[in-house]
């Protein structure tokens, strides 16, 4: 379960993959119903601790595992992938609400983890530790974003799209510098991963970067629309109460 060697390789849309996707859909439906329930505010502390626990255990155990099995290296195991960024921003927001940071978090925490769940950059199959870590963490990130939207009564103006996109590109500049030093491919800025993922359709070179930028803009607009649907639901609920 904790071996560094790939005993059995993960297969895209295999039974073990479909089960996890189905579980994510069910958890999302239940989670959305709970977060939009009017009695939800009585249980926010429990949800805060649950998400914080998942984030801390996921990232900390990942580093400990890589070090313990002797495979840790800066090119692969620094917490610089987008979902790791989401984890750290989410952990901060769980304990200290901040509107500008939430704007960035919400846009990177909804669809990117979902795309990762659909086409995982994952070598280890069930029941390996990394299989569980990957799916649990990537399921928790989008749910935590909706939780924070509900708990802290955030709104999403159109300007938040521009703000989030600008901050994402600013972070990408720093990641590009980190990639040049470590030889890594964090944020997948140097190209898609070796395994088949949604990023594989963008080609390579400058076309790849342009494709990422256009996709990010489209995804952020869709995220803004969905987020405002949830905000309007909350507003209607408060008026009715």
178-217, pLDDT tens digit by residue? Answer: 999 999 999 888 888 766 666 767 777 788 888 889 999 9
Structural domain count, the chain? 1
pLDDT over 90 (residue 37): no
- Domain hosting residue 62, numbered range: 15-240
pLDDT at 231 over 80: no
Model pLDDT for residues 108-135, shown as the tens digit of each residue = 999 999 999 998 888 899 999 999 999 9
Looking at the DSSP bridge assignments, the partners of residue 9 are 124
- Per-residue pLDDT, averaged over 218-232, amounts to 89
In a domain? residue 8: no
Write down the pLDDT at residue 6.
87
pLDDT score of 241:
47
Mean pLDDT to the nearest integer, 84-111: 94
Q: Is residue 3 part of a domain?
A: no
pLDDT of residue 178: 94
Model pLDDT, residue 239: 44
pLDDT for residue 198: 65
- Is 138 a member of any domain? yes
Number of Cβ within 10 Å of residue 233's Cβ equals: 13
* pLDDT of 150 over the 80 cut: yes
- Comparing C-alpha atoms, which of 223, 209, 95, 233 is closest to residue 163? 223
Question: Is 1 domain-assigned?
Answer: no
Peptide bond into 127 cis (omega under 30): yes
Taking the C-alpha atoms of residue 136 and residue 117, their distance in angstroms, rounded to an integer, is 10
Cα maximum dimension of the chain? 58
Residue 100 belongs to a domain: yes
Asked if pLDDT for residue 40 goes beyond 80, the answer is: no
Tokens (6 digits) for 175: 């990641």
Structure tokens given for 217: 């803009």
- Band (pLDDT 50/70/90 cuts) for residue 234 is low
pLDDT (mean) for 89-97: 96
Q: Please say if the pLDDT value at position 151 is more than 70.
A: yes
Return the exposure string of 66-84: e unless at least 16 CB atoms fall within 10 Å of the residue's CB, then b.
beeeeebeeeebbebbbbb
Residue 7 forms part of a structural domain: no
């Amino acid at each position: 379960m904790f071996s560094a060697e790939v005993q059995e390789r993960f297969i895209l849309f295999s039974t073990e993959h479909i089960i996890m996707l189905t579980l994510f859909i069910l958890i999302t439906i239940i989670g959305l119903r709970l977060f939009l329930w009017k009695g939800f505010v009585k249980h926010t502390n429990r949800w805060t601790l649950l998400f914080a626990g998942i984030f801390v255990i996921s990232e900390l155990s990942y580093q400990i595992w890589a070090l313990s099995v002797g495979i840790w290296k800066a090119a692969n195991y620094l917490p610089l992938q987008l979902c790791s960024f989401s984890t750290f921003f989410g952990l901060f927001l769980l304990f200290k609400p901040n509107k500008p940071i939430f704007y960035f978090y919400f846009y990177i925490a909804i669809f990117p983890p979902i795309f990762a769940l659909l086409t995982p950059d994952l070598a280890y199959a069930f029941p390996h530790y990394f299989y569980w870590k990957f799916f649990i963490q990537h399921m928790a990130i989008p749910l935590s974003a909706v939780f924070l939207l509900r708990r802290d009564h955030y709104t999403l103006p159109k300007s938040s799209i521009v703000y989030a996109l600008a901050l994402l590109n600013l972070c990408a500049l720093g990641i590009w510098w980190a990639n040049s030093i470590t030889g890594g491919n964090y944020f997948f800025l140097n190209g898609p991963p070796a395994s088949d993922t949604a990023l594989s359709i963008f080609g390579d070179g400058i076309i790849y970067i342009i494709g990422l930028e256009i996709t990010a803009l489209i995804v952020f607009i869709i995220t803004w629309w969905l987020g405002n649907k949830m905000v309007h639901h909350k507003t209607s609920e408060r008026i009715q109460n």
